[in-house]
Amino acid sequence: MTFKELGLSEAILKAVSKKGYTNPSPIQEKAIPLVLQGKDVLASAQTGTGKTAGFTLPMLHNLAAHNKWKRRPIRALVLTPTRELAAQVYENVREYSEYLDIRSTVIFGGVNAKPQMRTLREGVDILVATPGRLLDLENQNALSLGKVEILVLDEADRMLDMGFLRDIKKVLSLVPREKQTLLFSATFSKEIKELANNIMFRPVLVEAEPENSTAEKVIQRAIRVDKGKKNELLIKLISEGNWKQVLIFTRTKHGANRLCEKLKKAGISAAAIHGNKSQNARTKALEGFKKNSIRVLVATDIAARGLDIPLLPHVVNYELPNIPADYVHRIGRTGRAGASGEALSLVCAEERDYLRDIEKLLGEKIVTEILEGFELTESLAISKPASRQQGGGRGNSRNSGGGNKKKSSGNRNTSNATNSGRNRSRTSRSSNSNSKNSNRR
């Protein structure tokens, strides 16, 4: 099947052809006709299979065909979980609408809001946004969502993971009840299906690939290595393999910064991208990586979705994620659009259970090896990692550290309080002190 057979307008077909595309991907082939018909669509496909065009192309077609407005109210709203994904979706919208009388813009936090507000005042048909900045500007009366005809939730599962459910519900209260709702996601969790049932009207379910599957052309392998030797091994692999473009994932922001500095000291150009970086720094790092002026991009899971890097050859899990599905999204940055790629994981003893959970999710074993000179010395009897609690959520950082210490301190004090009246008094004072300190944190 060709894009022309899907019923898209000549102007859109011209833009698609300019991008070099001739045949739709499976998710596009299934979703586009349904969106063109105005149906609510709940779509899932593995990352890198063209989900964005699956809703962007028919959305543009319908908006251009039924433009009754002299001014330009926001007629389509696309919500995304991260700034990088918002920028990517907007770029797609802009490119595919090149030959249409359609205006679009993107808004997200981390940058000056005034230019965004000026653009909105001039009028746009399509708005791509992250929830936080969208609601901030709506509260300032800088935009109105009362004329929205199409609402798209892109990477909806990630939005729920990041704690945006309350924001999504607020947005839903601001848009008309009568509208077309499109929910695109890499996975279908119970929470996603529940959300769909609450906000969509008779949604049509579309699945192009099995849930949590990985691209066929991604070669997956794992190397067992002591935790303390990961840096040395990684530098050896990049240098001796002459890897020119490598995306590396760490579990924490501080870990990303530390690894980035280690690589630089070894003469490997690198930049880190995570939530603590300013938007300008994140944009600069990503542009440098895409242009190959930066050899290595070290990222947290903020970059596991939303980064579209053509022909990216290598993705490395410096640390395995504690959420198995995040592994799928991480390695989905390579092997995109039919290209081949390699996904390598460095696995220390304490991460063996993470690897086992990932294999269980995928339904397959990942080839594992040990390299000469990096033989394991760590005991496999090392206890499991301290927590499997999902990370990256909007409020998770506030729930860790101080709160846990307070609880632990309270338990110790309760135990000590059984010794004597003196200890009970001392424990009480200690507990009060710890509680105050925890609140300050």
| Domain spans in the chain, listed from the N-terminal domain onward | 4-207, 218-369, 407-440
More confidently predicted of 124 and 192: 124
pTM: 0.64
Q: Do domains 4-207 and 218-369 have the same CATH topology?
A: yes
Rounded to an integer, what distance in angstroms lies between the CA atom of residue 245 and that of residue 332?
15
More confidently predicted of 121 and 192: 121
Q: Give yes or no for residue 86 having a pLDDT over 80.
A: yes
- The token duo for 388 is 């499997």
> According to the model, what pLDDT value does residue 70 have?
75
> According to the model, what pLDDT value does residue 338 have?
53
Question: Among residues 281, 284, 288, 324, which one has the least CA distance to residue 304?
Answer: 324
> According to the model, what pLDDT value does residue 392 have?
40
Q: Give yes or no for residue 335 having a pLDDT over 80.
A: no
pLDDT digits (tens, 9 = 90+) for 151-206: 999 988 888 877 889 999 999 999 999 999 999 887 777 888 888 888 999 999 99
More confidently predicted of 411 and 118: 118
Contact call for residues 297 and 273 (beta carbons, < 8 A): yes
> According to the model, what pLDDT value does residue 158 have?
81
Strand partners, 127: 77, 105
Alpha carbon of 72 to those of 115, 129, 178: distances in Å? 18, 17, 19
Question: Among residues 338, 335, 27, 60, which one has the least CA distance to residue 210?
Answer: 27
Give the SS3 label for residue 125: coil
More confidently predicted of 382 and 138: 138
pLDDT digits (tens, 9 = 90+) for 248-302: 999 999 999 999 999 999 999 999 988 788 878 888 888 899 888 999 999 988 7
Rounded to an integer, what distance in angstroms lies between the CA atom of residue 161 and that of residue 172?
18
Q: Give yes or no for residue 422 having a pLDDT over 50.
A: no
- Give the CATH number of domain 4-207: 3.40.50.300
Question: Among residues 304, 336, 334, 340, which one has the least CA distance to residue 319?
Answer: 304
Topology adopted by domain 218-369: Rossmann fold (3.40.50)
pLDDT digits (tens, 9 = 90+) for 363-386: 889 999 999 999 888 765 444 444
pLDDT digits (tens, 9 = 90+) for 54-83: 999 999 999 999 877 778 999 999 999 888
